[in-house]
Amino acid sequence: MTPEDALQKYFGMPSFREPQRAIISAVLENKDTLVVMPTGGGKSLCFQLPALLLPGVTLVVSPLIALMKDQVDALQARGLPAGLLNSSQTLDQQRDTLRAIRERRLKIVYVAPERFRSASFLNALPQDAISLFAIDEAHCLSQWGHDFRPDYMRLGEARKAIGGPPCVALTATATPDVQADIKQSLEMHAPAEFVAGFARDNLSFNVRQTSSEHDKLQAIERLIQQHSTGIIYCATRKSVDAVATKIEHLSASVIRYHGGLSDSERNAAQDRFISRQANIVVATNAFGMGIDRADIRFVCHYEMPGSIEAYYQEGGRAGRDGQPSVCEMLFSYADKRVQDFFIEGANPGKALVAEIYDLLCATSDAKHEVRLSVDELCERLGRKVNPMAVSSALSLLSRQNWIERFDIPGQRLKGTRIQQVGRAGRDLPIDAAALATKAARDEDRLKAVIHFAYAQSCRQKWILDYFGERNSADCARCDCCRQSKHRSARTLSKDETTIVQKALSGVARMSRNLGSDQWAARFGKRKIIQCLLGSQSAAIRDSG
Ligand code: ADP
C-alpha cells in the first residue's frame, strides 16, 4: 500500500500537507528523522502513518498522559490497532499491552517516558518487534528547551536497549541548540531533517535604528496612529512605566503590565486587553502567554530583546487573524547594556554561588535560618554585585536542595533554611563548565539579535535561516526587502574610501581591544562623530 492510499484509507484525508510526504518517505526508508514544525502543522501523521505501513510496532514517547489517551482514543475510533502503556494503568492492563506487542496485534503504542526507567519494562519489550521509535515533544530532551524532562534523558539508552530501531523526533521548538541536543542525545545517525512552516506571511518585520528616546517615541506615535491595536515590549519595569506615561495621551486605552504589579492588577490589565476595553499594552516579556487576541496589528520592541527566539515568539503575537501586521524593533546599540545585565544576573558563576552559600551559613541562627533580603545579602557581600545574580544563586541552591526557601507570615520577604549544615560552598556539586557554557549561549543569542538588527537581507528569511528552515524566499514585506528595491551597490570613490577608513579608525581607537579580534564599544555614535569632527567639548576632553 502506498502512503497516499494509507492516508485515504486509514485517515480519510485527500492529500498530504507540505512537507509530510517527504518526512514519511524518510521514515519509511528507515532513516533517523528530525521534524520541527509549528503546533498544528500535522506532525502526528508523520509517525502514525508509517507505523501502519512498517512491519513491526511503533513506540511513541509522549510526555502527557492526557494527550496520549486522546491520541490513542482517536486512532482506536478509526479502527486502528493502537494502545498505550503508562502508570495510570493496572499491572494487568500493562501486561496485556505487552502481550499484544509480542503477538504483533498492535501497530502503535504510546509510552510515557518514565516507563523507560524500569529495566524490567525494557527487558519485557521484544527487541525484534519494534520498527520505529518516535519521540513526540522531543524538545523535552534538551536542557535548553523550555520544558526539560529528566526522564527524556534516558531515551538514548532506551533506544539501544530495544534493539536500536530507527528513530523520528518531533517538536515545535525550533532553536538550533535544542535541535543539536535532540540529535546528540538520541545518537541520531545522519538524520533527515525537516524544519518547516515557521514563516508568517502576513507579518512585516522592520528594524528602526534609533539614537534617542525622542526617535523611539516618534516611532511609537506613528505606529499607534496607523494601527489601533498593539503591544509595546520594554526590557524593564522602569521602562514600561516611563513609556506608558509618555504615550498615554495618544490613545484612550493604554495599559501597562509587568511583574512589579500585584496579581490582581495584572489580571485586571490582561482582562481589559482581551475584552477590547484597552487596545495598547506597554509590557515586559511577562505579558503574552495565553493572550488570545487575534487582531493585534503591531508588536513593537522598544528595546532589543535578549534572543531571536524571544523576538519571534513575542512578535508572532501580531496578526493571528491572518491580516497584515507589523513587527517593529526600535534598535539602539546602547540598549545592549540592559541585556548584558540580565545575562550576568541569570548566570552567577560557581564561585559566587559558593560564596553566597557560605554567607548564608555564617549569618544563620540556631535553627539554621536566615531572614535577609536579596539587597541585604548583596550589602553583606561587601562589594557591588548584581542583585539578579544573587537571586539566581538562591534559586540554584534551592534546586540542589542545599537551601530551602520558606514564606514568612505577613511579609513579602522569604526566609532561607540551610539544608546541608556543616558543608561548605566549595563542596557544591555544581558543574562550573556547564554554567559557563550556558552563559556563553545566552551571550551568543544576544549577539544574534544585534546581527539581525544590522542585517541588510530579508528579515523573515534571516529568522527562518536562524531556526534552520532553509531555502525560503524573500518576503518582499520587511524594511530590507522594501529598501533593496531602491538600493544598488556602487564602488566608493577614493575620497569616500578615505573617509570610511578614518571613521573606522575613529571607532577602533574609541573602543577597547579585548584581543583575538574582539572589540568592545565604549562610546556611542554621537561621541565618535564629535571626536572625528574635532570637538573640544568638555565631555570629549574629559574622556581622554
Ligand atoms: P501537531 O502535532 O503538529 O501539532 P497534529 O498532528 O495534531 O499537529 O495535526 C493538526 C491537525 O491537522 C489535526 O486535526 C490533523 O488531523 C490535521 N491534519 C494533519 N495532516 C493533515 C492532512 N494532510 N490533511 C488534512 N488534515 C490534516
Which residues pair with residue 406 across a beta bridge?
415
Of ligand 1's listed atoms, the one at least distance from the Cα of 136 is 2
Q: Name the residue with the closest Cα to ligand 1, atom 5.
A: 42
C-beta separation of 327 from 206 below 8 A = yes
Which residue stretches of 186-252 are H helix? Answer: 213-226, 237-247
CA of 41 to the centre of ligand 1 (A): 6
CA-nearest residue for atom 20, ligand 1, is 42
**Integer Cα distance of 129 and 107 in angstroms:** 10
pTM of the predicted model, to two decimals? 0.78
Residues with CB under 6 A from ligand 1: 13, 16-17, 20, 37, 39-45
Ligand 1 centroid from CA 159, angstroms = 27
Confidence at residue 487, expressed as pLDDT on a 0 to 100 scale: 67
Burial class (CB in 10 A: 0-12, 13-18, 19+), 501: exposed
Peptide bond into 19 cis (omega under 30): yes
Cβ neighbours, 10 Å, residue 199: 15
**What order of strands is seen across the sheet that includes strand 33-36?**
82-85, 108-111, 57-61, 130-135, 167-171, 33-36, 192-195
Query: Of all protein residues, whose CA lies closest to atom 26 belonging to ligand 1?
Result: 13
**Is the separation of the CB atoms in 103 and 116 below 8 Å?**
no
For ligand 1, atom 25, the nearest C-alpha belongs to 13
Contacts of 14 (CB under 8 A, 6+ apart): 7, 8
- Radius of gyration from C-alpha coordinates of the chain: 28
Instruction: Using alpha carbons, list the distances in angstroms from residue 483 to 465, 476, 478.
Output: 20, 10, 9
Look at residue 251 in the predicted model and tell me its pLDDT: 79
Q: What is the distance in A from the centroid of ligand 1 to the CA of 7?
A: 12
pLDDT, residue 515, reads 79
| Res 145: pLDDT | 62
CA 56 to mean position of chain CA atoms: 36
Cα(464)–Cα(201) distance, integer angstroms: 12
Give the atom of ligand 1 at the shortest distance from the alpha carbon of 45: 6
Distance of CA 40 from the midpoint of ligand 1 (Å):
6
Average pLDDT per run of 10 along the chain, which is 544 residues long? 96 94 97 92 95 96 86 95 90 91 93 88 85 94 73 90 94 85 93 93 96 95 94 97 93 90 92 93 90 92 95 93 96 96 94 95 95 94 94 92 93 92 92 88 94 96 92 93 78 88 89 79 85 88 84
Q: What pLDDT is attached to residue 509?
A: 86
Cα–Cα dist 382/384, whole Å: 7
Please, what is the end-to-end C-alpha distance for the chain in angstroms? 79
Instruction: Provide the 10 A C-beta neighbour count for residue 103.
Output: 10
The enclosing H or E element of 334 equals none
pLDDT at 486: 67
Residue nearest to atom 13 of ligand 1 (CA): 42
Atom of ligand 1 nearest to the CA of 44: 6
| Cell numbers linked to 488 | 544598488
- Angstrom distance (rounded) from CA 437 to CA 445: 12
CA distance 243 to 218: 12
Q: Which of 522, 532, 503, 525 is nearest to 454 (CA)?
A: 525
Asked whether the beta carbons of 82 and 75 are under 8 A apart, the reply is: yes
